[in-house]
Amino acid sequence: MKIRKPNPPQARDLANYPEDMLLRMYERMYLIREFELTVNTLFLKGKMPGTIHLCHGQEATAVGVCHGLRPDDYITMTHRPHGQAIAKGVTPKAMLAELFGKEGGCCKGKGGSMHVGDITIGALPAIAIVGASSPIAAGVAFGFQRQKTGQVICNFFGEGTVNKGDWHEAMNLAAIWKLPIIFFCENNFWGVTTHVSDVMLNEFVAERAGAYGMPGITVYGNDPLEVYHAVQDAAKRAREGGGPTLIEALTYRRGGHKRDDPANYRPREEVDAWLEQDPIPLFRARLAKLPSFPETKLAAIEAGVQATLVEAIDFAQASPLPPKSMALEHVYA
């Protein structure tokens, strides 16, 4: 096993970016983090059924991607989809109710944590089988291309996916047909308990893009702006008919694979190095240096998020359970 430590690039000057974009980026990252911590607490209290895969630590990837896309673009999500869904705009209310298995959930309680989504805002309900979403995302891109809609899709997956046949088939199909798709790898180095260096000889996932004749790029995934620029470039190329791009964002999950996993299989040295690079306080500190982001403003954003979450919990708890008859619905269109 080869330990992988963070290697942040020279930070970009935030003064060059629109204030509302920076505000929105911080608000979304903070919301995702607090949402995940809330979910964790509710789980520990035994209030939620099922299992859960938290994404805290990876907020900058999801938020960076969705800022690099147009609102009418699509995403596909993984079994760890909460951050991706919130970044795209699925409401915390509809998400929490879904996690509770309630009728008010985004999928009326029929999907749960691993299948959240809202097709009306381009968040295709999440696909939890590793690799399976890549051909489907390529198909959505194919639909966009053939119907000349000008839209792009971003296919989220983890580094564990890049040894799956489905992924390779999708990469090749997207490349030969120049489909408007971004293959976006959240490389957190750990596929459940297995380190990427034990199952892949390439140092970077992005190297594999060359095998399919498409561009590949590795970016630092704990800075939303690094991700944002890579996605913006790839989306532009895809929209102009230049075909797909593979983007690899290096990041880390702060917790285990799932809620009851202490992740003690990870070496302390690697964990400590990454935990120090927490994307949220680091981005906050950069914002705080700008005159347009006084402490009061940052505190107000955070208070707003907390209020949103209180409201979401109330909504989810008050939402009715689905009627049993619903188990037999939605099988066929």
Q: How far apart are CA 70 and CA 153, in angstroms?
A: 10
Chosen residue from 12, 47, 110, 239 binding another protein by CB under 8 A: 110
C-beta neighbour count of 271 within 10 angstroms: 15
Out of 36, 59, 73, 118, the only residue in the binding site for another protein (CB under 8 A) is 118
238 binds another protein (CB under 8 A): no
* 321 contacts another protein (rule: CB under 8 A): no
Q: Which is nearer to another protein, 19 or 169 (CB)?
A: 169
Q: Please, what is the minimum distance in Å from the beta carbon of residue 174 to another protein? A: 9
Q: Looking at beta carbons only, is 169 or 311 nearer to another protein?
A: 169
Our finding on whether 212 is near another protein (CB under 8 A) is no
Rg (CA), the chain: 19
Q: Output the CA–CA distances (angstroms, integers) from residue 13 to 96, 283, 287, in the order listed.
A: 36, 11, 10
| 73 lines the binding site for another protein (CB under 8 A) | no
Does 329 participate in binding another protein (rule CB under 8 A)?
A: yes
Q: Does 77 bind another protein (CB under 8 A)?
A: no
Q: Of 165, 241, 291, 323, which lies in the binding site for another protein, with binding defined by CB under 8 A?
A: 165
SS3 of 60-128: the string is HHHHHHHHHCCCCCEEECCCCCHHHHHHHCCCHHHHHHHHCCCCCCCCCCCCCHHHCCEHHHCEECCCC
| Type and span of the H or E element at 306 | helix 295-318
Cβ 113 to another protein shortest distance, Å: 12
Q: Does 201 bind another protein (CB under 8 A)?
A: no
Of 173, 185, 219, 246, the residue at the interface with another protein (CB under 8 A) is: 173
C-alpha span between 71 and 55 (Å, rounded): 22
* Half-sphere exposure in the Cβ direction for 258 (13 Å, CA): 8
Binding site for another protein (CB under 8 A): 107-111, 115, 117-120, 124-125, 127, 129, 132, 134-144, 146-147, 165-166, 169-170, 172-173, 176, 326, 329-333
